[in-house]
């Protein structure tokens, strides 16, 4: 991803004040310092490295239910300015004092691009069903089933450019950056789908 932004690996390490040998030894702590330089959330970088996400970076609530789909569908019908206001209000809300990180068991997915995608979705507190709904609402791909998301995680469904674009949209990455993070060659990019009517 750094190459796509005109950065070399060495320049990224220097900017983060991280030595390559430190990444091998210190692991998570070095990756936390590297994440802001790459423009990646620390929890996402740990997932990309195949490491467990520590409790202080894990979601603080159980996956949301069907209300998320209703909220997103309603928000997409708002004018852009009102959507921005809604987003700002949501981001400014404090976490409840009683919030505790969710402890999840190990998933059955072997490490690979599909498993990384599903774990990145879980970093956003999206289970397989809500992930499928968000792919449809935000990227206009599908509707997919929760089972399809699980098949992606198992590496049994190819991440074609259209599906990669959909996941990038839900995860708030540029599709080029997500492809670079997953080491997937991207033949072309796709314009955003019209989600206003979904």
Half-sphere exposure in the Cβ direction for 57 (13 Å, CA): 19
What's the pLDDT tens digit per position in 74-119? 999 999 999 999 989 988 988 666 556 666 667 788 889 999 999 9
Residue 191 DSSP class? P
pLDDT at 131 over 90: yes
pLDDT (average), residues 163-188: 89
pLDDT at 19 over 70: no
The token pair that represents 144 in the structure block: 């997919």
Task: Name which residue leads in pLDDT, 28 or 9.
Answer: 28
pLDDT at 40 over 80: yes
pTM over 0.85: no
pLDDT at position 196, please?
45
* DSSP labels, 161-173: HHHHHHHHHHHT-
Q: Give the integer Cα–Cα distance in Å for 106 and 77.
A: 37
The token pair that represents 41 in the structure block: 């959330």
pLDDT at 182 over 70: yes
Among candidate residues 153, 150, 131, the one with its CA nearest the CA of residue 142: 131
Q: Give the integer Cα–Cα distance in Å for 35 and 113.
A: 19
pLDDT at 157 over 50: yes
Q: What is Dmax (Cα atoms) for the chain?
A: 50
Q: How far is CA 59 from the centre of its chain?
A: 13
pLDDT at position 132, please?
96
Q: Give the integer Cα–Cα distance in Å for 142 and 150.
A: 15
Mean pLDDT over all residues of the chain? 80
Query: How sure is the predictor about 3, in pLDDT bands with cuts at 50, 70 and 90?
Result: very low
pLDDT (average), residues 187-193: 54
Query: How sure is the predictor about 190, in pLDDT bands with cuts at 50, 70 and 90?
Result: low
């Amino acid at each position: 991803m750094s190459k796509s932004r005109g950065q070399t690996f060495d320049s990224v390490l220097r900017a983060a004040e991280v030595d390559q040998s430190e990444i091998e030894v210190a692991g998570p702590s070095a990756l936390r310092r590297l994440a802001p330089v790459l423009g990646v959330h620390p929890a996402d970088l740990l997932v990309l490295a195949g490491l467990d996400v520590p409790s202080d970076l894990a979601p603080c609530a159980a996956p949301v239910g069907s209300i998320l789909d209703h909220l997103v569908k309603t928000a997409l019908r708002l004018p852009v300015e009102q959507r921005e206001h809604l987003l700002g209000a949501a981001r400014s809300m404090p976490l409840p004092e009683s919030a505790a990180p969710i402890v999840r068991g190990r998933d059955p997915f072997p490490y690979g691009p599909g498993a990384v995608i599903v774990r990145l979705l879980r970093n956003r507190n999206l289970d397989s069903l809500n992930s499928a709904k968000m792919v449809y609402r935000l990227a206009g791909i599908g509707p997919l089933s929760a089972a399809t998301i699980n098949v992606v995680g198992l590496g049994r469904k190819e991440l074609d450019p259209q599906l990669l674009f959909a996941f990038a949209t839900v995860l708030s990455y540029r599709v080029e950056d997500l492809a670079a993070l997953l080491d997937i060659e991207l033949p072309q990019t796709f314009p955003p789908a019209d989600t206003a009517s979904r």
